[in-house]
Amino acid sequence: MIRICANPRKLFAYLAGSVFVCIVSAGTVSAQVIGQPAENSEPAFRTDSKMVAGGEMVTIFSRNVAKDGGLTIVSETPLFSIFKDTLDDNDPANDRLRYIWLLTYTEPGFWQKAASAVPFFYTRAGNKKVSGSGPPPPLIDLNRPNPSIWNQVFWIAFKRIIVNDLSIAPRSSILQYRQNGSDHKKAAIASALALLTVYQDAENERILSDQDLSDIQAKLMLDNKPFGGRMQSENFSRLVKKETALTRDYRGHNWELLRQHAEAQGLIFDPIEMPDGSATHAILWADREEINAGSSKKFDGRFLNIRDPWTDPSLKDWDGYLETRWYDDQDREVEHDHPKARAKTLIPLAVYGLDNPKIPVILIDFRNNKNPKFREMSRRVLNDVTGNVLSLSKFSSVPYFLGRFLLDFTTSRRGTDFNQESRRRSYAQLKTLIALDDSLSVPLRGEMAKRVESSTLNPRQNDLDVELQIARLQYRNLMLYADRPDGLAKRIRNDRREEMARLKSGTASRTFHSLISFLTFGNYKQRRNYNSANIAMIDVSRRLQYHERIVRETAARSVRPEIDSNVAQLRESLDFIASDGGSKAAAKTAKAIASIFMATRLPDLRERALAGLYRINNPEAKSQLLAIYSTPDIDDHWRVETARYLRRARTEGLKMSEHDSRIIAGLLP
């Protein structure tokens, strides 16, 4: 069985040969030549940290091993750079993850951009020749409120008012350009998530915590969701676990579905596994001897979506890649020196992605490149004709809505690999993972890489080897940008000024400024003056969010905090909320604190919880205090303490509802 990336330290071994020459010539990758294999001593990744203006730059490098004669060459390739805004101090509570640079992700070249505006142009337009000297574009800003919902609203209004009134040619070009740009970023996000999975499963030095990695994954997952920016940070880990479990369910379902259908047709099912043992892709093989013997097997191509291999004359005269394996008398794969080993010459038929919600999708057809290309195009062509040319949408045309629903339902029920949304993710995973492990032979690896590139629809995409060269150049540019006073330092300063503006503005003001920003293509940003008072405001706000998250996560997952939680950390968070900095805590935090009070039996935690509810200047906090006071089986000591805090809150004029105020006045004169 072939296991792709089963050893993550061999990730990106595709850099050997001509690619490695490019690495050396670029002068940005460290390499060493040693006299013995390094696989047993070198970790899969290296994580580097560098303090720059305003924070910390963390970069993840893959460690690549290639053999040249009797020598082993170890090189490094930068994959990710992540900037953490530390607010120029050593307090982790006010640190914020900000930018992620996927260093293979770059702005397309001029001709790539021009080609992406050509309607119905579904092929690559060459590679980007020069990466330039400027910094790479960040894939995502982790701390900026997700603008997707407002961008969608403003785009729909702009499209209806202006774009839809244009003639077909300019309208189609504008919409095609926007769609290709969106797809380019989505493919990069899919690649980033795949690589983060490999990094987390590998044994290597960590600078980023598990929570940081989980937050990054969650933000990437939420980036394209309209209300993704509204999700609270305490839900990130649950989101990642839920999505991971759902994906594994899809894989398990598709694994079994594809395996059963392949074996029923006499084909060999070969899963491709990630480091954690889960299969993301699979290869189907056919026995050349059976094909040449003229097998009379009846072929059912449902879910396989390939031509009948037993009657295909091209396989009888196959001059492509062949692989020899050995099997025993029960058709179990064995080593070549096994006593009962007999050789089989296998022909690769197709590669499938298993991460899809309904059925496995064919990504490579070794006999017909147009087969997966057509299936990849099916959704784009349908959407472009109906949306870009005819200006139809599901909500504007009842006949179109019904016809589209019937098409989706029929193809889903029949298991037809047509019009599937998740093909992009499978291709991104295949491109970044499959062709980069040496458990596949070099000829097969090259054949698969070539066919993957030929199936690409987006003119903005580059070849894998070009992307890796761009990654090294972009890392060099990023480090130069980080060291310049007018570079990253200036950007972070402006980001903090925007953060100040969000803290001081109401909902109506933020919506208005979001509209202005959209209409000016993001060039206008609302900012406040950069001074010590505003920096102190950011510091308090960030630390409050940090401690609120700890309290909410504890309340959500804990049955007895003193047993199943970090009590010292919880005490610190409750103490902060009970101080002046906690007065602006949210209503959800008040509910979480009340839940912790009822769950714990530690007196000091209960005292801190009551003090926090008193300090939070929010009507919900006083409602929770009143609910604790009114609990029938509460001890007298805690009833007296709760009454004391309620009296103080009423006397000091803290926020509470009129209903609660009247009840408190009646109970506690």
What is residue 528's predicted lDDT score, i.e. its pLDDT?
85
CB atoms within 10 A of CB 131: 19
Residue closest to 467 by CA, chosen among 442, 425, 438, 432: 432
Residue closest to 196 by CA, chosen among 7, 60, 46: 60
Sequential DSSP letters for 365-394:
ETT-THHHHHHHHHHHHHHIIIIIIS---T
What is the tens place of the pLDDT at every residue in 280-298?
889 999 999 888 887 677 8
pLDDT surpassing 80 at residue 575: yes
Q: What's the average model confidence in pLDDT over 512-535?
A: 80
Residue closest to 349 by CA, chosen among 287, 260, 292, 294: 287
pLDDT surpassing 80 at residue 470: yes
What is the C-alpha radius of gyration for the chain, rounded to an integer number of angstroms?
Answer: 29
What is the tens place of the pLDDT at every residue in 82-116?
999 999 888 899 999 999 999 989 999 888 999 99
Query: What is the residue-averaged pLDDT of the chain?
Result: 82
Query: Could you tell me the two tokens for 665?
Result: 């006045």
- Total-model pTM: 0.81
What is residue 38's predicted lDDT score, i.e. its pLDDT?
37
Query: Could you tell me the two tokens for 189?
Result: 């996000």
How far CA 199 is from CA of 66, 213, 432, in Å, comes to 20, 10, 13
pLDDT surpassing 90 at residue 605: yes
Q: Identify the weakest region by mean pLDDT among 11-25, 39-53, 313-327.
A: 11-25
Give 410 or 541, the one with higher predicted confidence. 541
pLDDT surpassing 70 at residue 203: no
655: exposed, middle or buried (Cβ count in 10 Å: 0-12, 13-18, 19+): middle
Instruction: Report the SS3 class of residue 4.
Output: coil
**Separation between Cα atoms, residue 273 and residue 8, nearest integer Å:** 11
Query: Of 66-80, 229-243, 314-328, which one has max mean pLDDT?
Result: 314-328
Q: DSSP H helical segments within 579-631, as ranges?
A: 587-599, 603-615, 619-629
Residue closest to 348 by CA, chosen among 320, 312, 317: 320
What is residue 414's predicted lDDT score, i.e. its pLDDT?
67
CB distance 80 to 100 below 8 Å: yes
pLDDT surpassing 70 at residue 43: no
Q: What's the average model confidence in pLDDT over 630-642?
A: 91
How far CA 572 is from CA of 93, 483, 604, in Å, comes to 11, 36, 12
pLDDT band for position 420 (cuts 50, 70, 90):
low
Give 327 or 43, the one with higher predicted confidence. 327
Residue type, position 78, single letter? P
pLDDT surpassing 60 at residue 9: no
List, in order of start, the domains of the chain with CATH numbers: 8-245+461-485 (no CATH), 262-454 (no CATH), 486-530 (no CATH), 533-667 (1.20.930)
**Separation between Cα atoms, residue 171 and residue 177, nearest integer Å:** 10
Residue closest to 355 by CA, chosen among 209, 243, 205, 220: 243
pLDDT band for position 537 (cuts 50, 70, 90):
very high
**Separation between Cα atoms, residue 309 and residue 285, nearest integer Å:** 10
What is residue 544's predicted lDDT score, i.e. its pLDDT?
95
pLDDT surpassing 70 at residue 160: yes
Q: Residues near 332 by Cβ (< 8 Å), separated by ≥ 6? A: none
